[in-house]
Amino acid sequence: MVRAAILSAVGAPLEIAGIELPEPGPGRVRVRLAAAGVCHSDLSLSNGTMRIPFPAVLGHEGAGTVVSVGEGVTRVAPGDGVVLNWAPSCGTCPACAIGEVWLCDSALAGAAGVHARTADGTDLHPGLNVGAFAEETVVAANCVLPLPAGVPLTDAALLGCAVLTGYGAVHHAARVRAGESVVVFGVGGVGLAVLQSARIAGAGPVVAVDVSPEKEALARAAGATEYVVASDTTAKDIRRLTGGRGADVAVECVGRATTIRTAWDSTRRGGRTTVVGIGGKDQRVTFNALELFHWGRTLSGCVYGNSDPSKDLPVLAEHIRAGRFDLSALVTERIGLDGIPAAFENMLAGRGGRALVVF
């Protein structure tokens, strides 16, 4: 038996209880978690914004050590450090065939399966494939990525979602060029990763926007050169900070209609807005036909940073080893499993960066 955070239904309180994991079968890997990040997507799963089978063990951003492997697994061995990959690509679907592995048709197929049971025999599903809010988990072999040398195992959990998403949003989705101005909406875990990635890209100025004035120091440490507390004048404030034109690139990490619209309004004519935040179906953004023509702006979605983890992880590891990317700077709180509900409340209130469950 290992301890895990179990969600029985949408809106139900998390229950910390023992679960039983099977020995890994063919193509499966058992991992002892070192840490798991508490991501806004976990909150979206718990409140029904994103749908998964229940009951489930949430948590999709994690890293740990391989305990055992099933038949046919050769990419990792017991004792290896690994980063969990919640959206593995199949390599054969139409999206994978053209290199868009982040849009793989079967990336979340494993979430519908059963990976563990409660003490009374109730089947448990792995939230977003990996079920990382547990001391150990059993996942498909393509859900583990070998930990690059020189990357701390505990902080490496953040690579599994926040960092790949933030880095990819800048370098793949928005394709930020050196010297371009960037505005980042939302200074949570992903937003902080976007800020660090914009700095690596040589962007400037880099403006951070958040509802909380207390996050200014956190944002500036991550690479923001300017900080704006969100208000009715945010778009005007950003134009003032970018020579009156507006930002070249806006990255929205909140997932709200009003914030997406403000991000769009904050960019220059011909500017680019990349939406990273996950919003609900009731969040509707409206534009009129004339402004679409006149402003010539681009609005695009972004899934998992439009990243290929197998290619991007080694690049990120080099940035980490060289001191250009600081994983620990994203973490504002280190907690146990029982601290996850409070971390959810902090996210709802707009407090802090990334909470990290450390086992």
pLDDT tens digits, 115-158: 999 999 999 999 899 999 999 999 999 999 999 999 999 999 99
Q: Decide if pLDDT at 112 tops 90.
A: no
Is 127 in contact with 295 (CB distance < 8 Å)?
A: no
CA-nearest of 88, 207, 177, 62 to 141 is 88
Distance CA(319)–CA(85), nearest Å, equals 20
Distance separating the N- and C-terminal Cα atoms of the chain: 15
Interatomic CA distance for residues 101 and 97, integer angstroms: 8
φ, ψ (nearest 5 deg) of residue 283: -85, 105
251 CB neighbour count, 10 Å cutoff = 30
| Domains by residue range for the chain, with CATH | 2-160+326-358 (3.90.180.10), 165-303 (3.40.50.720)
Task: Output the CA angle 132-343-184, nearest 5 degrees.
Answer: 95
Strands (E), 39-80: 56-57, 61-69
Q: What pLDDT digit, counting tens, does each position of 46-85 carry?
A: 887 888 889 999 999 999 999 999 999 999 999 999 999 9
Q: Which amino acid is at 126?
A: P
Instruction: Report the DSSP pairing between strands 206-210 and 182-185.
Output: parallel
The share of the chain scoring above pLDDT 70, in percent, equals 100
pLDDT surpasses 90 at 19: yes
Q: How confident is the model at residue 111 (pLDDT cuts 50, 70, 90)?
A: confident
Round to whole Å and give the CA distance between 16 and 333.
19
Q: Taking residues 103-117, what's their average pLDDT?
A: 91
**More reliable by pLDDT, 349 or 288:** 288
Q: What's the pLDDT tens digit per position in 225-278?
A: 999 999 999 999 999 999 999 999 999 999 999 999 999 999 999 999 999 999
Give rounded-to-5 percent helix, strand, coil for the chain: 35, 25, 40
Q: Contact, 289 vs 85, CB < 8 A?
A: no
Instruction: Supply angle C-alpha 342, 216, 175, rounded to 5.
Output: 95
Backbone φ, ψ for residue 318 (5° rounding): -65, -40
Helix spans in 202-251 (H): 216-222, 234-241
Q: Which two tokens stand for residue 308?
A: 């290929």
pLDDT at residue number 52: 84
Percent of the chain with pLDDT over 90: 88
pLDDT of residue 184: 98
The predicted structure's pLDDT at residue 44: 84
Provide the mean pLDDT of the chain. 95
Amino acid found at 94: P
pLDDT grade for 165, boundaries at 50, 70 and 90: very high
Q: How far apart are CA 299 and CA 102, in angstroms?
A: 18
Tell me, what's the pLDDT at 42?
Answer: 87
* Residue type at position 213: P
For residue 138, give both structure tokens.
């059993």
What band does 352 get if pLDDT is binned at 50, 70 and 90? confident
What distance in Å separates the CA atoms of residue 278 and residue 208, rounded to the nearest whole number? 19
38 near 354, Cβ under 8 Å?
A: yes
Query: pTM of the prediction?
Result: 0.94
Average pLDDT over residues 9-33: 93
Burial (CB count <10 Å: 0-12, 13-18, 19+), residue 153: middle
- Note the pLDDT of residue 307: 96
Query: Which residues neighbour 257 within 8 Å (Cβ) at sequence distance 6 or greater?
Result: 279, 283, 284, 285
